[in-house]
């Protein structure tokens, strides 16, 4: 079957992969193949239903990756969900459209990626976006939703906005009043997507406001363009590994795939192979192709093509917990999420002392992470990353936690997480077999600041529920409840509840980090894998640092920029 030849092969038809496929196939003389392990979910109600979050979990469109038993978090394995479908994880995610704090994107440049800063990324956020102005949707009257046109795109492929189930009964305004009544108020921020996230906000989602269905990467970037004759998509096809040219430099010749009928074949790429299989798959594909740590590869009989030991390292995720309260109002078939993003100064009563103590601990943190992976990532480099992260929190004032409040039936549900945990783990292959489960070890709660931030977020939520006018609308705390975690509990008292009830926040990143090679990077600022002439990674794997928003908006923007780089425009 060697007659299958394309200019570009994109591995993974997910959030990032379909952006790049769309943009490259705008060039009529360029042929593009997308290889996707899942199928079409265009008519899958578990995907399209805007109130259906979670319905797709543990179905055949959820990879449901398992972590190793988590040493610092109760010794149990966690499930990290990811979409297995055309559209990838954008077909099962929570549809939240929240970007990042400008200083965080600027930190990508600080760490050595020239040109990757907020100013240069904003046009790509806008390019991908088609904001649906709430003024055209009367059902949003009174809902409190808002946006600043300076920060949004209106003609991009990705529909962003609010659905017809958005609550408009005045709760948003009461939430705001509550935040203003806190001892340390959290100010109202009409638009958290302009690079400053601090405050209390209503945020938009990836929905089609007209049709009231989920907007995913396939609906935005593929289906309207599926008649392009130079753009092919192979569904139910597993990419096994990159194949290499017999040449002096390390040049990909194509991709070995297993088709839906179980036959294995090689597709030829005349220009590039572009990995977009997600942060828990792209590094494993690199390893299966001989790019990684020779000590790991040799264990499975894989010959090293490029000695790049940090492939799969630097894995960063967040930890998600919740508190639940009774509600005196019943909310059914309605949706609303209110977010608050306090800074360290707003969250910690003694922020300066907390910052000083953390700063003293950073060298030990760096040494601990390095030693956990056999010094594959270096203490010196990790200290440098941690100091950048410390500066973001304590100098630039990025949000230190995220708090979501969701009215749901007869209760108020909350979710919270430290936005930038310091703990770092890894993902590596466990076998030379291309579909074997990988060894995923995020090392949740390895470093104590991560627990401290998580505890402080829980305490903050308790304060919100004690503050008027909201206090009067909510009933008792049902989870964990004061019998399980007493009022005034300290970190130790909270630890048990938090560690036995958390889940992955499903935001794994950085496993093929964009950074200089000398400090452990896997891809350069053009997203090319070090040591290769024509292999790139364009998905969540390349983000060097966690972002305070949710990942998809940033991944769409990164992929838009990647496409311009590949086209030679940057």
Q: Which of residues 532-551 bind ligand FAD (CB under 6 A)?
A: 539-540, 550-551
Please tell me the total number of residues recorded for the chain in this structure. Answer: 570
How far apart CA 187 and CA 189 sit, in angstroms, is 6
Q: 237-256: which residues touch ligand FAD (CB under 6 A)?
A: 238-239
d(CA 202, CA 204): 7
Query: Which run of H or E residues covers position 276?
Result: none
Stretch that binds ligand FAD, among 92-100, 164-172, 340-348, 479-487 (CB under 6 A): 92-100
- The DSSP code for 68 is P
Q: How far is C-alpha 510 from the chain's CA centre?
A: 10
What is the helix (H) or strand (E) element at residue 274, kind and residue range?
A: strand 264-275
Q: Which of 567, 544, 539, 552 is nearest to 276 (CA)?
A: 539
Which of 178, 268 has the CB closer to ligand FAD?
Answer: 268
Smallest CA-to-CA distance from 117 within 129, 102, 97 is with 102
The nearest distance, CB 505 to ligand FAD, in angstroms, is 8
Contact region with ligand FAD (CB under 6 A), list: 148-156, 223-231, 271-279, 291-299: 271-279
Is 232 noted as a catalytic residue in this protein?
no
Place of tokens 């109600």: 45
Find the binder of ligand FAD among 552, 560, 562, 563 (CB under 6 A).
Answer: 552
Among 100, 213, 267, 277, binds ligand FAD (CB under 6 A): 277
Q: Answer positive or negative: Cα dihedral of 526, 531, 536, 541.
A: negative
Q: Kindly determine how many residues on this chain lie close enough to bind ligand FAD according to the rule CB under 6 A.
A: 40
Which is catalytic among the residues 152, 232, 452, 550? 550
Q: Which residue's beta carbon is nearest to the bound ligand FAD?
A: 14
CA angle 102/104/110 to nearest 5° reads 110
278 scored as a contact of ligand FAD (CB under 6 A): yes
**Helix 448-465 / helix 491-501 crossing angle, nearest 10 deg:** 100
37 binds ligand FAD, rule: CB under 6 A: yes
Is residue 95 close enough to count as binding ligand FAD by CB under 6 A?
Answer: yes
The residue (of 89 and 104) whose beta carbon lies closer to ligand FAD is: 89
* Smallest distance, ligand FAD to C-beta of residue 99, A: 9
Q: Which of 232, 428, 452, 507 is catalytic?
A: 507
Tokens of 500: 């036995």
Pick 462 or 507: Cβ nearer ligand FAD: 507
Beta carbon of residue 44, minimum distance to ligand FAD (angstroms, whole number) = 14
Nearer to ligand FAD, 65 or 244 (CB): 65
Interacting residues with ligand FAD between 202 and 241 (CB under 6 A): 238-239
- Judged by CB under 6 A, the stretch of 33-41, 185-193, 385-393, 462-470 that binds ligand FAD is 33-41
Binding piece for ligand FAD, criterion CB under 6 A, among 101-109, 274-282, 363-371, 419-427: 274-282
Stretch that binds ligand FAD, among 260-268, 278-286, 345-353, 383-391 (CB under 6 A): 278-286
CB atoms within 10 A of CB 77: 12
Instruction: Find where tokens 């969900």 sit.
Output: 81
Q: What is the DSSP string of 362-385?
A: HHHHHHHHHHHTTTSS-HHHHHHH
- Say whether 4 is catalytic: no
Nearest to 118 by CA among 398, 328, 441, 482: 398
Contacts of 435 (CB under 8 A, 6+ apart): 238
Residue ranges of alpha helices (H) inside 373-467 are: 379-394, 448-465
Residue 426: phi, psi to the nearest 5? -160, 165
Q: Find the shortest distance in angstroms from Cβ 58 to ligand FAD.
A: 11
Q: In 10 A of CB 29, how many CB atoms?
A: 6
| String marking each residue 479-518 x if it binds ligand FAD according to CB under 6 A | ---------------------------xx-----------
Of 93-101, 137-145, 313-321, 422-430, the segment contacting ligand FAD by CB under 6 A is 93-101
Contacts with ligand FAD, residue ranges (CB under 6 A): 11-17, 35-38, 81-85, 88-90, 92-96, 238-239, 276-279, 281, 506-507, 539-540, 550-553, 555
Residues assigned a catalytic role: 507, 550
């Amino acid at each position: 079957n060697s007659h299958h030849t394309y200019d570009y092969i994109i591995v993974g038809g997910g959030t990032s992969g379909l952006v790049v496929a769309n943009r490259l196939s705008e060039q009529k003389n360029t042929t593009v193949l997308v290889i996707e392990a899942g199928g079409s979910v265009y008519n899958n109600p578990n995907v399209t239903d805007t109130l259906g979050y979670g319905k797709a979990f543990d179905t055949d469109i959820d990879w449901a990756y398992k972590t190793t038993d988590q040493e610092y978090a109760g010794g149990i394995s966690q499930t990290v969900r990811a979409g297995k479908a055309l559209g990838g994880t954008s077909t099962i995610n929570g549809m939240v459209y929240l970007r990042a704090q400008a200083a965080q994107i600027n930190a990508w440049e600080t760490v050595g990626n020239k040109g990757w800063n907020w100013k240069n990324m904003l046009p790509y956020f806008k390019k991908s976006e088609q904001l649906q102005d709430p003024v055209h949707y009367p059902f949003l009257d009174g809902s409190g939703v808002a946006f600043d046109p300076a920060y949004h795109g209106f003609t991009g492929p990705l529909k962003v906005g609010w659905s017809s189930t958005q609550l408009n009964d005045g709760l948003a305004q009461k939430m705001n009043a509550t935040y203003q009544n806190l001892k340390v108020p959290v100010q109202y921020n009409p638009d958290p997507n302009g690079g400053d996230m601090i405050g209390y906000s209503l945020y938009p989602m990836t929905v089609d406001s007209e049709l009231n269905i989920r907007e995913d990467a396939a609906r935005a970037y593929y289906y309207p363009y599926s008649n392009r004759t130079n753009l092919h998509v192979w569904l139910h096809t597993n990419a096994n590994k990159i194949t290499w040219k017999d040449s002096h430099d390390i040049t990909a010749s194509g991709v070995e795939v297993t088709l839906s009928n179980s036959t294995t074949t090689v597709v030829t790429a005349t220009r590039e192979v572009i990995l977009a299989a997600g942060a828990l798959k792209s590094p494993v594909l690199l390893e299966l192709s001989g790019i990684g740590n020779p000590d790991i590869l040799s264990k499975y009989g894989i010959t090293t093509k490029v000695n790049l030991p940090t492939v799969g390292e630097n894995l960063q995720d967040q930890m998600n917990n919740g508190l639940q309260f009774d509600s005196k109002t019943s909310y059914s078939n309605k949706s609303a999420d209110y977010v608050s993003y306090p800074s360290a100064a707003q969250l910690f009563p003694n922020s300066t002392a907390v910052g000083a103590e953390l700063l003293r601990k950073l060298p030990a943190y760096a040494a601990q992470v390095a030693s956990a992976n056999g010094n594959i990532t270096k203490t010196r480099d990790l200290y440098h990353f941690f100091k950048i992260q410390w500066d973001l929190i304590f100098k630039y004032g990025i949000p230190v936690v995220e708090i979501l409040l969701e009215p749901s039936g007869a209760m108020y549900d909350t979710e919270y997480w430290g936005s930038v945990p310091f703990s770092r783990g890894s993902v590596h292959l466990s076998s030379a077999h291309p579909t074997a489960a990988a060894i995923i070890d995020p090392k949740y709660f390895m470093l104590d600041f991560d627990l401290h931030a998580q505890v402080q977020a829980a305490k903050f939520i308790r304060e919100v529920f004690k503050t008027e006018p909201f206090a009067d609308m909510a009933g008792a705390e049902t989870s964990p409840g004061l019998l399980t975690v007493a009022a005034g509990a300290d970190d130790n008292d909270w630890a048990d509840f938090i560690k036995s009830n958390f889940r992955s926040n499903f935001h794994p990143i950085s496993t093929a980090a964009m950074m200089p090679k000398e400090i452990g990077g896997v891809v350069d600022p053009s997203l090319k894998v070090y040591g290769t002439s024509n292999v790139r990674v364009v998905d969540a794997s390349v983000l060097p640092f966690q972002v305070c928003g949710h990942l998809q908006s940033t991944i769409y923007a990164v992929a838009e920029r990647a496409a311009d780089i590949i086209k030679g425009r940057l």
